[in-house]
Amino acid sequence: MMDPAEDMVLVVADMDRTLSREEDGFVVRDEVATALNELASRHKFAVVTGRREETAMRLAGRLRPTAWVLEDGAIVLYGDRRVVVAPADWGLRREEILAQLRSRGYRCSLGKVAIYVDGVPSDPPAGVQVVPNRGSAIVLPEGIDKGFGVRALTDVMGYRGKVVAVGDGENDLAMFEAADVKVAVANAVEELKRAADIVLSREDGEGMLELIGMLEDLPQLR
């Protein structure tokens, strides 16, 4: 068992198909939210998602995590702190990139920082990060991804303990790079399962409940 005197664990988890199911419209179910809120009272818990802030809050309205990492690492919310990461010239460049993508036939929408693309651009503009995820993509300033977002969060928190990352998709590989323990839910893509230390037997939010039940006894956290 973990010594309660040691630093609390930080669990970071994707939202769609990790905390929530597509069959539920990606709304986090009440029993999953309750378990995660209890987890956040004992350790630290952050949602790390490609979603925009307003959409994430709507889908996970009952969640009370320690922190949020939004738009695939571009925005960190922790307490009353809001960290938005983008180069000074990103606003102008983003408009140019958006026009290029639309001229190539891609349907796009915007977050505070991210460009959301219906499809994965095969010839993206230089100097950007294209993060694919199950047939769509998020375009961000170069160097920004979920791993960057998790590291930015731990810096903001001043946290130096163990990080457990849980996900399902290709964009969670970057989050794994910032974690001590890498966990894939049962419905994760094969690439993520191969990179995981633990592959859960259950899918989506049920997988998170499975992980919560075993968290205190993980040998990697001793």
Classify residue 146 as exposed, middle or buried by CB count within 10 Å of its CB (0-12, 13-18, 19+): buried
- Establish if 3 belongs to a structural domain: no
Q: In the predicted model, is pLDDT for residue 4 greater than 70?
A: no
Please identify every residue annotated as catalytic.
14
Please tell me whether residues 117 and 169 are part of one structural domain. Answer: no
- Establish if 196 belongs to a structural domain: yes
- Establish if 17 belongs to a structural domain: yes
pLDDT in tens, 179-218: 999 999 999 999 999 999 999 999 999 999 999 999 989 9
Please tell me whether residues 81 and 155 are part of one structural domain. Answer: yes
pLDDT in tens, 74-121: 999 999 999 999 999 999 999 999 999 999 999 999 999 999 999 999
Please tell me whether residues 48 and 24 are part of one structural domain. Answer: yes
- Establish if 154 belongs to a structural domain: yes
Query: Helix 30-42 crosses helix 204-214 at what angle (to 10 degrees)?
Result: 30
Averaged pLDDT for residues 138-161: 96
Please tell me whether residues 70 and 19 are part of one structural domain. Answer: yes
Please tell me whether residues 55 and 117 are part of one structural domain. Answer: no
- Establish if 4 belongs to a structural domain: no
Share of the chain above pLDDT 90, in %: 89
Question: Can you give the residue range of the structural domain that contains 102?
Answer: 90-141
Please tell me whether residues 112 and 159 are part of one structural domain. Answer: no
Q: In the predicted model, is pLDDT for residue 69 greater than 80?
A: yes
Q: In the predicted model, is pLDDT for residue 6 greater than 80?
A: no
Work out the number of other CB atoms within 10 angstroms of the CB of residue 191. 13
- Establish if 2 belongs to a structural domain: no
Q: In the structure encoding, which two tokens stand for residue 166, read together? A: 């849980």
Helix, strand, or coil (residue 207)? helix
The tally of domains found in the chain comes to 2
Q: What is the CATH number of the domain that holds 71?
A: 3.40.50.1000
Question: What is the four-CA torsion angle of 136, 138, 139, 144, rounded to 10 degrees?
Answer: -140
Please tell me whether residues 152 and 217 are part of one structural domain. Answer: yes
Please tell me whether residues 115 and 188 are part of one structural domain. Answer: no
Please tell me whether residues 73 and 183 are part of one structural domain. Answer: yes
Please tell me whether residues 191 and 128 are part of one structural domain. Answer: no
- 127 DSSP 8-state letter: T
